């Protein structure tokens, strides 16, 4: 039974998230998702949706076997607990594969890191939580 880990903020869900989670699930038998703590989302505005609500919605998605909130201080703690064969990085996640692999090796965690493709929006599709929020503000603000 090989486990795959996916991770992200998952603030307002959209088909780009479904694409990512389906592709991640296809990399193994069981998909575990680590949902980022609001305090660790530092490179964009704070999430709108609460931490438990983001976990509940991700866990309800078909490809997901288990979702949990991330560790507040050390991103390797949940990885050590889950012990995955693969970490699936999203197409736009800022982590560098080689650096991440080096830090995993330092911690004695034996798993590979793979990058998942992005899904490009067709006309009228909104495949980004930030873009959905921008559209709401434009049209209803
Ligand atoms: C392997 C890995 C493990 C992570 N573990 C945690 C964690 O335990 N806690 C957390 O708050 N964020 C964790 N993150 C970070 C977030 O999931 C996320 O990448 C970051 O907050 C940026 O959000 P975004 O990818 O949705 O843009 C982890 C990221 C990676 C790549
Ligand atoms: N269009 C997309 N195609 C494929 N993967 C996606 C897409 N959008 C998000 N993801 C992936 O889903 C995971 C969670 O992403 P995140 O919650 O940051 O979504 P986002 O919609 O890109 O957010 P924001 O618009 O606020 O930056 C990440 O691994 C990210 O790469």
Rg of the Cα atoms in the chain: 15
Query: φ and ψ at 30, to 5 degrees?
Result: -135, 130
- Nearby residues of 116 by Cβ (< 8 Å), 6 or more positions away: 6, 19, 20, 23, 24, 88, 89, 90, 91
- Checking if the pLDDT of 133 tops 90, the result is yes
C-alpha 128 – ligand 2 centre gap (Å): 6
Closest residue by Cα to residue 80 from 58, 114, 110: 110
Q: Which domains does the chain have, with CATH numbers?
A: 3-140 (3.40.50.620)
The pLDDT of 123-136, averaged and rounded, is: 96
**CB of 16 within 8 A of CB of 127?**
yes
Cβ distance 6 to 93 under 8 Å?
Answer: no
Q: What is the pLDDT of residues 1-45, one digit of tens each?
A: 999 999 999 999 999 999 999 999 999 999 999 999 999 999 999
Report how far Cα 10 is from the mean position of its chain's Cα atoms. 7
The three-state secondary structure class of 34 is strand
pLDDT band of 141, cuts 50, 70, 90: confident
Q: How does pLDDT run across 85-125, given as a tens digit for each residue?
A: 999 999 999 899 999 999 999 999 999 999 999 999 999 89
Pocket lined around ligand 2, Cβ cut-off 6 Å: 8-11, 16-17, 19-20, 44, 90-93, 118-119, 127-130
Tens-place pLDDT, residues 36-60: 999 999 999 999 999 999 999 999 9
Q: How far is the CA of 71 from the centre of ligand 2 (A)?
A: 20
Res. 80: pLDDT tops 90: yes
Ligand 2 closest atom vs CA 20: 5
Number of Cβ atoms within 10 Å of the Cβ of 6: 29
Residues 6 or more apart whose CB falls under 8 angstroms from that of 46 comprise: 38
């Amino acid at each position: 039974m090989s486990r795959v880990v996916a991770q992200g903020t998952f603030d307002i869900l959209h088909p780009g998230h479904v694409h990512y989670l389906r592709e991640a699930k296809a990399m193994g038998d069981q998909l575990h998702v680590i949902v980022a703590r609001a305090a660790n989302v530092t490179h964009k505005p704070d999430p709108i949706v609460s931490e438990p609500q983001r976990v509940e919605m991700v866990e309800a998605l078909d490809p997901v076997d288990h979702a949990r909130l991330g560790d507040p201080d050390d991103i390797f703690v949940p990885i050590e607990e889950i012990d995955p064969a693969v970490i699936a990085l999203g197409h736009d996640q800022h982590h560098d594969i080689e650096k991440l692999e080096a830090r995993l090796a330092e911690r004695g965690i034996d798993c590979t890191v793979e990058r998942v493709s992005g899904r490009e929006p067709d006309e009228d599709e909104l495949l980004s939580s930030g873009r959905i929020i921008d559209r709401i503000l434009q049209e209803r603000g």
